[in-house]
Amino acid sequence: MSFKKYSIVISLLFFFLIQDSFSQSSSSPNILWISVEDISTLLPAYGDSSIKTPNIDRLANEGITYTNAFATVGVCAPSRSSIITGMYPVSIGSHNMRTGPHYAFREPEDETYKDYYGVKDIKGRNVPEYATVPPPFVKCFTEYLRAEGYYTSNNAKTDYQFNSPITAWDAIGREATYKNREEGQPFFAVFNHEITHESRIFMKKEDPMLADKSSVHIPKYFPEMPVVRQDVGRAYSNIMELDNQVGEILQELEDQDLLESTIIFFWSDHGGPLLRQKRAVGNSGLRVPLIVRLPGGQMAGSRVEEIVSLMDLGSTVMSLVGIEPPEYMHGKSFLGKYKSSSPHQYAFGSADRFDESLDMSRSVIDGRFVYIRNFRPELPLIYRNAYREQIDMTRAMIEMDQKGELTDGAAYIFMKTKPLEELYDLMSDPDEIHNLAESPEHQVKLKELRKALSAWQLQVGDLGFVPEYDLVNMMWPGMMQPETAPVDFESKDGKIHLSSETEGASIAYQVEGQIGGKHWLLYSSPLDAVKGQKIATRAVRIGYKTSQIKEYIIQ
């Protein structure tokens, strides 16, 4: 065996041994997510030298950088629905952006929906606000953590396409933090950072510019002009502000002596905030940064090229704390005791309705090639969307297109109709502006990815083919939100057993002095029967109304 091959073998053995050692010796580590918005791999850790991000660099130097991480959808709400459930959005009906005011948690009594908010389906029928109703076996993965004794907190964004069940989190909202857990209790904490969101391009345009506009990278699908440099510069400047926020989190963990007992995940919910990035179904909309820092310098500075999905995050957290993920999840664990032995061969993506704009495309990415199938080829690639047109460069490019002034890559993305199929080679064409679908040299790859996409759509039962009005009626019969049945009590063998007639319902309860507060405990096993004790209960299934409170005094 050559020295080079011997070194590779030793490195691989070390990789697996250290990973196995971690999974066995740290059964209850703390987990902290740094969840960020709307950034592609525009970081020095991924080879982009436009700006400096010392704190994110530190995470990469002390952690694992995943170079082929992808969202399932290029926009926040459908993507986040896949993260919290571990399921493809098109498989659970959460693929249209957006279904209702779910960006923040609402108390059950405040969960109301508008009959009309200006959205129509492909047949021109009114689509009301609604909450996605996944199959009954689908849970928020945080419930599995709570059942194992973890304190879960989310500060503060949800955006799951349904209101967060009261069983999903111990604490949720702007004040939510792991600091309120019981002494010695392990935690899973999420901190969402909005500084890089699309809206901050126009909301912060008068703020000081931290990035050097003259040196930021401009994709080939944007024209070289001052307004483009201004808005691209703002996107990078916002990332620099984000980096400072990451540094504050790391410092706080160090100050509390928690850094070396906490696994840190850093990820973005989808690709960048600008045109042909956010909402795109190709690499520009789906590829995201993902860095995981393990305690004690384990795997520090390593880079992993296997394909991972944000949909894998929940199952990976479960695996790291020793919980076997349920078989129904599409997500695969990429670390920990239950690390999948068969990583994703492809990353699959979807694009459907975005606010008032209708479309339907699907994609498959193998790390180098991107295949896109457009089911509405009669529509332009860049459709009108009021929200993103608040960005100056977007309006400028639309105006230039109307005047016929766009050229090269910018003219390409403003195509008036779309081809049925697109194929891009990211090695030679990272900006995805040279369609190889009709290239004779690429027909083998085209057929491979076309077949993979079709098989995936059949496997997951792609609901994108169901007009949205009909989809809502399937989940909310008669266009009325179903309600979870109240909790039933049964006393048996010195235990209190709680149940609900609603299939798939989770149960929350409060005891004595807790009753009337906002914090609900998750029922995961029968409770001790304490004579005279008062218990309050509620049941909730994802997408359903939460049941009325029902109280019981143990006899």
pLDDT for 353-377, tens place per residue? 999 999 999 999 999 999 999 999 9
The 10s digit of each residue's pLDDT in 93-130 is: 999 999 999 999 999 999 999 999 999 999 999 999 99
Taking all residues of the chain, what is their mean pLDDT, rounded to a whole number?
95
Binning pLDDT at 50, 70 and 90, where does residue 6 land? very low
CATH number at residue 23: 3.40.720.10
- For 275-316, the pLDDT digits (tens) are 999 999 999 999 999 999 999 999 999 999 999 999 999 999
What is the spatial distance between Cα 541 and Cα 139, in angstroms, rounded to a whole number? Answer: 9
Residues 96, 150, single domain; the answer is yes
Q: What is the pLDDT of residue 2?
A: 42
Q: What is the pLDDT of residue 174?
A: 97
3-state secondary structure of 405: coil
210 and 164 in a common domain: yes
Nearest CA to 346 out of 329, 327, 369 is that of 369
- Tens digit of each residue's pLDDT (9 = 90 or more) over 140-153: 999 999 999 999 99
pLDDT band at 17 (very low <50, low <70, confident <90, very high): very low
pLDDT at 9 over 70: no
Quick check: helix, strand or coil at residue 57? helix
Q: Choose between 16 and 505: higher pLDDT.
A: 505
The amino acid at residue 156 is A
Split at pLDDT 50, 70, 90, the class of 47 is very high
Residues 411 and 491 in one domain: no
Q: Is the pLDDT of residue 512 over 60?
A: yes
248 and 137 within one domain: yes
Total of domains in the chain: 3
Cα separation of 551 and 446, whole Å? 60
The helix, strand and coil proportions of the chain, stated in percent and rounded to the nearest 5, come to 30, 20, 50
Give me the residue label for tokens 């984000």.
242
Task: Name 16's Cβ contacts closer than 8 Å, sequence gap at least 6.
Answer: none
User: CA–CA distance from 398 to each of 95, 357, 392, 413 (Å)?
Assistant: 27, 16, 10, 11
Q: Of 473, 504, 534, which residue is a domain's last?
A: 473
Same domain, 437 and 525: no
**Which residue bears the tokens 């950072």?**
193
- Measured N-to-C along each axis, helices 54-62 and 226-255 cross at an angle, to the nearest 10 degrees, of 60
**Residues 418 and 469 both lie in one domain:** yes
**Token representation of residue 484:** 């979870």
Co-location of 324 and 468 in the same domain: no
Distance CA 461, CA 409 (A): 35
Give 437-445 contacts, CB < 8 A, sequence gap 24+: 445/369, 445/371
Instruction: Judge contact between 362 and 462, C-beta under 8 A.
Output: yes
Q: Which residue has the higher pLDDT, 79 or 13?
A: 79
Whether residue 13 is predicted with pLDDT greater than 80 in this model: the reply is no
Tokens standing for residue 138? 């689908």
Q: What was the pLDDT predicted at 96?
A: 98
Which tens digit of pLDDT belongs to each residue from 513-541?
999 999 999 999 999 999 999 999 999 99
- Tens digits of residue pLDDT in 193-202: 999 999 999 9
- DSSP for 183-247? TT--EEEEEEE-TTSTHHHHHTTTSPP-S-TTTS---TTS---HHHHHHHHHHHHHHHHHHHHHH
CA distance linking residue 258 with residue 146, whole number of Å: 20
On whether both 201 and 148 belong to a single domain, the answer is yes
Q: What whole-number distance in Å separates Cα of residue 238 and Cα of residue 256?
A: 28
**H or E stretch covering 394:** helix 392-402
Query: Which are the catalytic amino acids?
Result: 76
* pLDDT confidence of residue 8: 38
* Mean pLDDT, residues 432-456: 98
Count other Cβ atoms within 10 Å, centred on residue 344: 22
Q: Is the CB of residue 374 less than 8 Å from the CB of residue 418?
A: yes
Band of residue 25 on the pLDDT scale cut at 50, 70, 90: very low
| pLDDT surpasses 60 at 264 | yes
Which pLDDT value is given to residue 553? 97
Domain boundary residue, one of 310, 329, 350: 350
Choose one of 329, 350, 371: the last residue of a domain.
Answer: 350
452 shares a domain with 494: no
Could you tell me what percent of the chain has a pLDDT over 70?
95
Output the pLDDT for position 14: 42
Q: How confident is the model at residue 134 (pLDDT cuts 50, 70, 90)?
A: very high
The reply to whether 41 and 98 lie within a common domain is yes
Local confidence band at 27 (pLDDT 50, 70, 90 cut-offs): low
pLDDT number for residue 10? 37
Specify the DSSP element, H or E, that contains 308. Answer: strand 308-309
CATH number at residue 442: 3.30.1120
pLDDT at 472 over 90: yes
CATH number, residue 487: 2.60.40.10
Range of the domain at 287: 3-350
In this prediction the pTM is 0.95
Residues 6 or more apart in contact with residue 98 via CB below 8 angstroms: 77, 159, 161, 355
Tell me the mean pLDDT in the region 405-415: 98
342 and 356 inside one domain = no
- CA gap 300, 446 in Å, rounded: 37
- Statement to judge: residues 250 and 324 lie in one domain: yes
